[in-house]
């Protein structure tokens, strides 16, 4: 119970972006400029169970996103929803995304913005403070005026910005989230608890190396920082005819940041549907306290071709 309380209290400061091992298939939640990339319509659903069986509490993240191009306007639009559960705290991000695209000779450059809301909730009835009093009749006294004693929530505004460059073989992007540095106020016993969402910065990239007509390799990287601490995800996928893929991922770049080793498997269920599954093993001190992390995703994707056609002008002799 103390571990859960530690996670909840620490979240009153820095709050990290939701973690996904399959980040290369979920770019919109990190960079709004990805909306409508390569003229694809894409809908995706992700679920991640993090640190299974850690202290008997749920650590899970879900995301839903839909985006598509507005070909005639050199633009892309989309919506992304991320629900993050960390023990007794839940944060839900609902963002609208817009990207403007500039074709270059070697790639497409996109500049994107996102605007939306953060809805946060803290279930104080499940917190246990060291100096609190908790009776069998469910009465709760945390002996802390800044901790709620029941389920309480609040809403804040959010915004992001990104730049994304891609072609058929590679991609690269930089972005920032939580530009306003929003604070969500949670009503407590006497005062208010405040959840601060610090500004975060991301850089991502990947390249698909074609090994003949059958096999290909795609290394990818995602860098994350709040200017106080940083984390890096590395991934490498091997594709067979672009229908089946398997790969490994690694999170961390030095002794203090090394966190997990993952295995990923995916396949093209139909021409438009794909499914991915990954499993992470903790490589940090948390390895002794959990049974790993599971992640499952389903994507529906197809390309929208053409620039669109302008309507023909038909002259009606009645008005000549």
Write down the pTM of the prediction. 0.86
Q: For the chain, what is the domain count?
A: 1
Is residue 2 scored above 50 in pLDDT?
no
What integer is the mean pLDDT of 256-271? Answer: 94
Structure tokens at 16: 């990290």
Residues 188, 57, 136, 195, Cα dihedral to 10°: 0
pLDDT in tens, 156-195: 999 999 999 999 999 999 999 999 998 898 887 777 778 8
CA torsion through residues 100, 102, 103, 108, sign: negative
Per-residue confidence (pLDDT) for residue 120, from 0 to 100: 92
Helix (H, G, I), strand (E, B) or coil at 30: coil
Q: Which of 185, 92, 86 is nearest to 126 (CA)?
A: 86
Q: Which two tokens stand for residue 266?
A: 């995916």
Q: Tell me which residue of 225, 184, 228, 226 sits closest to 204, measured CA to CA.
A: 225
Answer yes or no: is 17 within a domain: yes
Domain that holds residue 277: 2-199+268-282+295-305
Q: Is residue 45 part of a domain?
A: yes
Q: Is the pLDDT of residue 238 over 90?
A: yes
Q: Terminus-to-terminus CA distance in the chain, angstroms?
A: 82
In a domain, 83, yes or no: yes
> Domain for residue 175, yes or no?
yes
Residue 87 lies in a domain: yes
Do the beta carbons of residue 222 and residue 202 sit within 8 Å? yes
Question: Does residue 227 fall inside a structural domain?
Answer: no
pLDDT at residue 301 in the model = 96
What phi and psi values does residue 5 have, to the nearest 5 degrees? -60, -40
- The answer to whether position 218 is within a domain reads no
Dist. CA 9–CA 186, nearest whole Å: 13
What's the average model confidence in pLDDT over 201-219?
A: 96
Q: Give the total residue count for the chain.
A: 320
Q: Are 74 and 101 in contact (CB under 8 A)?
A: yes
Backbone angles phi, psi at 310, to 5 degrees: -75, 145
Q: Is 68 a domain residue?
A: yes
């Amino acid at each position: 119970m103390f571990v859960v309380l530690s996670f909840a209290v620490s979240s009153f400061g820095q709050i990290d972006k939701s973690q996904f091992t399959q980040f290369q298939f979920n770019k919109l939640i990190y960079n709004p400029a990805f909306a409508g990339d390569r003229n694809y319509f894409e809908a995706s659903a992700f679920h991640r169970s993090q640190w299974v069986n850690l202290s008997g509490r749920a650590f899970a993240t879900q995301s839903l996103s839909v985006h598509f191009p507005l070909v005639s306007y050199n633009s892309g639009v989309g919506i992304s929803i991320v629900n993050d559960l960390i023990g007794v705290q839940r944060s839900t991000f609902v963002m609208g995304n817009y990207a403007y695209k500039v074709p270059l000779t070697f790639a497409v450059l996109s500049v994107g913005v996102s605007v939306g809301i953060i809805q946060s909730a803290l279930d104080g009835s499940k917190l246990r403070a060291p100096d609190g009093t908790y009776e069998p009749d469910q009465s709760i006294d945390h002996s802390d005026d800044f901790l709620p004693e029941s389920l309480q929530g609040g809403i804040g505004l959010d915004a992001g910005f990104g730049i994304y460059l891609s072609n058929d073989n590679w991609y690269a992007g930089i972005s920032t989230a939580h530009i306003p540095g929003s604070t969500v106020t949670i009503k407590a016993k006497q005062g208010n608890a405040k959840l601060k969402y610090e500004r975060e910065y991301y850089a991502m990239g990947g390249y698909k190396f074609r090994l003949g007509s059958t096999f290909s390799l795609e290394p990818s990287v995602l860098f994350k920082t709040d200017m106080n601490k940083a984390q890096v995800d590395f991934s490498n996928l091997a594709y067979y005819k672009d229908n089946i893929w398997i790969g490994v991922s690694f999170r961390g770049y030095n002794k203090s940041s090394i966190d997990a080793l993952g295995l990923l498997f995916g396949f093209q269920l139909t021409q438009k549907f794909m499914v991915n599954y990954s499993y992470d093993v903790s490589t940090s001190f948390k390895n002794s306290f959990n049974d790993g992390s599971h992640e499952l995703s389903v994507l529906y994707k197809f390309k929208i071709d053409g620039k669109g056609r302008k309507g023909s002008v038909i002259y009606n002799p009645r008005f000549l």
